[in-house]
Structure 1
């Protein structure tokens, strides 16, 4: 029997101990940072980037400068982030927003890229290829940052759904553009006609959409049949299908990112069992991916070089915020007769996040000459304009009159098999100007089977009685049959806008119109 020999590997147990120690501390600090982020109204991505900078050569001294590894791990993190976004998105919330969001992710991206490219070519004296590359890198938005700020300032679903769908859709075309333009910037490369580049992007997007829908539907149907009773194993299977969609798409040379998002969207809305479990699992993976990604990007950045790009970053950022984003919103939504207030909010809410910083590593890995400065510029731009745009978002929403006075949120309960009994649980936040104030519980007249089970007021919770009066600032916990969920939400919204006579006022008005006159006043 051959004797065992000792082989020296690249990583020792001491290295493992250090990695686990640093990684655990970083995750604990990142988890604690969420509370700071919530209180300050600043997206947590800035804190995670700060952790990375503090650990890098400007702080603790950890050396990390591998753009190739950053790109690979960044793509892996984006797959998990898109999977979490698709699995947690309700189709009913974004259905009416899909068409404008799709245009924002295509026409809007093209407009944004062209505007930034013209300014970069004119004022930064860059070639057209590098100018277009910079515009493409900065074209992707981050809805997670927007919702982190607006979690306490609810906006209408037509807007939240559009931002959510746009963030899920626009990563795919932007990645394709950045990769193609990076290749065209290589020495000796012949620029392809714009129409050929556009055709290639459209074909890859269409292919990615087909792969995502097929993998999501077929995989979900198969998983429903073969999965056992373990919700943990079922959750692993669901998330694995979203990763499989990316792998199949990438192997077929179509958009793997779009395939991932659409597969997750299909899986999250096809009525699979254990929905709360696999959504919670995907959310946890998404958080880990975001924390790891932002910390890694902070490690890659050199704080001693960033100030050199501050002026250019502010110039391009102002063009992006004040010109490119508004023009892309108008060009994409004018066909839907969208109110100017909605367009103004969408323009301001186009926050940039991790995707542009990850994409800034693509030309570095491809070897595109004279692009090393792009990473620094994009990093500074994301940090500066997150600070500029994020804190005022609640104020902007209120000034534009876009905050809702009553807002319902789905509640996922893992302790109760809600899918099996066909029930949904909602929390309803009663705003400061909602006309639900003063309405008694029995006056709500909710659909059959729906009822208010708990009221939280001034930090104290109690079970309401029939004559309990609702107040401003209350949080209501409502249990409703799944088939009556939409009617329950509509009833709550009607009461919030019109008060306790909501149903009577609507009926009387419609009756008066049918008679050709005005409804009679009741004594």
Structure 2
């Protein structure tokens, strides 16, 4: 019992140290996951002297923590975000992982003197982005970028682990058995399809089960989060036992259940957030304890070289090739390639060669650990500055909102929402609450007032309203604080605005002619943008038209474009080199060069 209390004491002290260190990390902008990892290193065998060498336990604990993190990641991903980013994100999660592993594997062979199989195994270990790192930095780091870019990163980080895990386990098996690449056969392809297919199927069925159970068998709000967590882990374990990818299944189950009406959903969300924090802290602390920094110096130079190669060569090449067919700008592809953080998943996978008895097992682990440290230091600390440098930070659509959503019993068709009236909010300036919203109560200075007797709303009033689901975003605008951005901000939204209802032919006459197809000539400017942007337009979307750029300034509640900005000069390229440009941009440049060669003026530019 004495040993148990000592272990528990040390463990709780480390978790508390990590939790309190997060306050300093927030203040100085340090990547929190790096802080957690560093505390584990300081407490380890080369620090305070805690010796921890249980690789099997660490792998199981890390897998459990990762399942919790992935479920929460999926639970917080809206179906809208998943839809707009699913295809490019899944391309990155499959083709991108393969390309990263392949390009990096070539470098690993020569940097470390590995065999080809060992090089590609190390490439598979570090090929996936870390869901914990990406979700934390994007959701908590205050980076306001275009929704499609953010969603692509989040969905990619949530879905690329199964591919990396499959590659790592398959190559580790080939290395341990001595078969080499000759052991690759149709069996591995069938096994991959089986894992991914079962992961998706059991994930959807698991999401259905979670929603069904919560809405029928739960009467205690305090029990609901525990029940959801248990069911999510059941999906994870059952899928793995049946030969599927448990990580993919638990992520899919999170997306499905998180986008359905559920009992005590807000309590579940808060519980998941807290549990995810704990899972991240424990996972990174244990991985830090497992490392032996005194073994790092002999591998430091090649490992740092490989980390830089991964950041500046392998990941950018993989992202560019994977996304070339999609409508991302040069800046956005550059940013997507930069936010390829490596974290706990890579370190966990680096344990696999050790467990399989590979000859260079410790080398895989130590090199991977150094690569993760470099990634968190270099990329984790610079994501926001890089986004700002590339011009991807977009002005907020609305200011801050102080909102609380409350569950109603039974199958209510309305939601109860509470807003605190903020200074400079439109509702305080005289804007009226829409007729479809039903205000019922106002809390003012500790007193409860019926809305119709409360008079004009005042700052800090707490207003309770019944509202139909999916309309809350409209109310958010009424109760939000003032946006500190001018509507005619030329730096981001262009020099002037045009109406989306004007004929597209007018745009063609001014900046063409000859830029419209026969079908597009009958469209309005708004319809043209909607068509060329893949049938979906978002706030701050951009579309090149000749040498100008059209920018979505405003959309309505149905995501129809209501105002378009015009930038007379294209956005400055992310780099002078012709990289990170998509197929549409390549076609534009080829057409411009042909026009120059034939002596014709380039559309939108004055002739010499």
Give the TM-score taking structure 1 as reference length. 0.82
Quick one: structure 1 residues 311 and 423, their matched pair in 2 at CA, closer, same or farther if it must change by over 3 Å?
A: farther
CA distance in structure 2 between the partners assigned to 1:464 and 1:164 by the alignment: 44
CA distance in structure 1 between the partners assigned to 2:335 and 2:57 by the alignment: 37
CA distance in structure 1 between the partners assigned to 2:326 and 2:47 by the alignment: 50
Cα-to-partner distance string for 1:234-284 (whole Å, 9 max, x where unaligned): 111111121111111111111111011111111111111211111121222
Q: How do 1:326-337 residues align onto structure 2 when only pairs under 5 Å count?
A: 326-337=316-327
Provide the residue aligned with 1:205 in structure 2: 196
Matched, 1:483 2:470: yes
Structure 1 residue 135, shift from structure 2 partner: 0.3
Provide the residue aligned with 1:99 in structure 2: 87
CA distance in structure 1 between the partners assigned to 2:506 and 2:455 by the alignment: 43
Matched, 1:298 2:288: yes
Q: Contact 2:418–2:463 at 8 Å: present in 1 too?
A: yes
CA distance in structure 2 between the partners assigned to 1:135 and 1:412 by the alignment: 45
Matched, 1:387 2:377: yes
Q: 1:371 aligns with which of 355, 361, 368?
A: 361
Q: 1:155 aligns with which of 145, 160, 176?
A: 145
Q: How do 1:503-518 residues align onto structure 2 when only pairs under 5 Å count?
A: 509=499, 513=503
> 3-state SS of the aligned residue for 2:248?
helix
Matched, 1:125 2:106: no
Provide the residue aligned with 1:5 in structure 2: none
Matched, 1:307 2:331: no
Aligned length: 479
Q: 1:90 aligns with which of 70, 74, 78?
A: 78
Matched, 1:246 2:246: no
Q: CA RMSD for the aligned pairs?
A: 3.8
CA distance in structure 2 between the partners assigned to 1:70 and 1:439 by the alignment: 52
Q: Contact 2:134–2:157 at 8 Å: present in 1 too?
A: no
Provide the residue aligned with 1:62 in structure 2: 50
Cα-to-partner distance string for 1:84-109 (whole Å, 9 max, x where unaligned): 21222222223201111111100000
Quick one: structure 1 residues 443 and 101, their matched pair in 2 at CA, closer, same or farther if it must change by over 3 Å?
A: farther
Structure 1 residue 516, shift from structure 2 partner: 7.8
Quick one: structure 1 residues 344 and 131, their matched pair in 2 at CA, closer, same or farther if it must change by over 3 Å?
A: same
Provide the residue aligned with 2:348 in structure 1: 358
Provide the residue aligned with 2:175 in structure 1: 185
Provide the residue aligned with 1:168 in structure 2: 158
Q: 2:41 aligns with which of 25, 49, 53?
A: 53
The more displaced of 404-413 and 116-125 is 404-413
CA distance in structure 1 between the partners assigned to 2:455 and 2:121 by the alignment: 59
> 3-state SS of the aligned residue for 2:325?
helix
Cα-to-partner distance string for 1:371-422 (whole Å, 9 max, x where unaligned): 2211111111111221111222111111111112115688774766599542
Provide the residue aligned with 1:227 in structure 2: 218
Q: Contact 1:277–1:414 at 8 Å: present in 2 too?
A: no
Give the TM-score taking structure 2 as reference length. 0.71
Q: Contact 1:407–1:429 at 8 Å: present in 2 too?
A: no
Matched, 1:37 2:25: yes
Q: Contact 1:238–1:267 at 8 Å: present in 2 too?
A: no
CA distance in structure 2 between the partners assigned to 1:426 and 1:176 by the alignment: 47
Q: Contact 2:36–2:285 at 8 Å: present in 1 too?
A: yes
Structure 1 residue 218, shift from structure 2 partner: 2.9
CA distance in structure 2 between the partners assigned to 1:403 and 1:477 by the alignment: 32
Quick one: structure 1 residues 384 and 426, their matched pair in 2 at CA, closer, same or farther if it must change by over 3 Å?
A: farther
Matched, 1:139 2:132: no
Quick one: structure 1 residues 357 and 411, their matched pair in 2 at CA, closer, same or farther if it must change by over 3 Å?
A: farther
CA distance in structure 2 between the partners assigned to 1:490 and 1:179 by the alignment: 49
The runs of 5 or more residues in structure 1 that have no matched partner are 1-12, 431-436, 455-462, 469-475, 501-505, 519-523
Give the structure, 1 or 2, with the largest relative contact order (CA under 8 Å, sep 6 or more): 1
> 3-state SS of the aligned residue for 2:223?
helix
Quick one: structure 1 residues 57 and 105, their matched pair in 2 at CA, closer, same or farther if it must change by over 3 Å?
A: same
> 3-state SS of the aligned residue for 1:261?
helix
The more displaced of 236-245 and 106-115 is 236-245
Provide the residue aligned with 2:415 in structure 1: 422
CA distance in structure 1 between the partners assigned to 2:425 and 2:347 by the alignment: 50
Quick one: structure 1 residues 184 and 235, their matched pair in 2 at CA, closer, same or farther if it must change by over 3 Å?
A: same
Q: Contact 1:97–1:162 at 8 Å: present in 2 too?
A: yes
Cα-to-partner distance string for 1:215-241 (whole Å, 9 max, x where unaligned): 11133213311222x112111111112
Quick one: structure 1 residues 102 and 490, their matched pair in 2 at CA, closer, same or farther if it must change by over 3 Å?
A: farther
Provide the residue aligned with 2:315 in structure 1: 325
Quick one: structure 1 residues 424 and 144, their matched pair in 2 at CA, closer, same or farther if it must change by over 3 Å?
A: farther
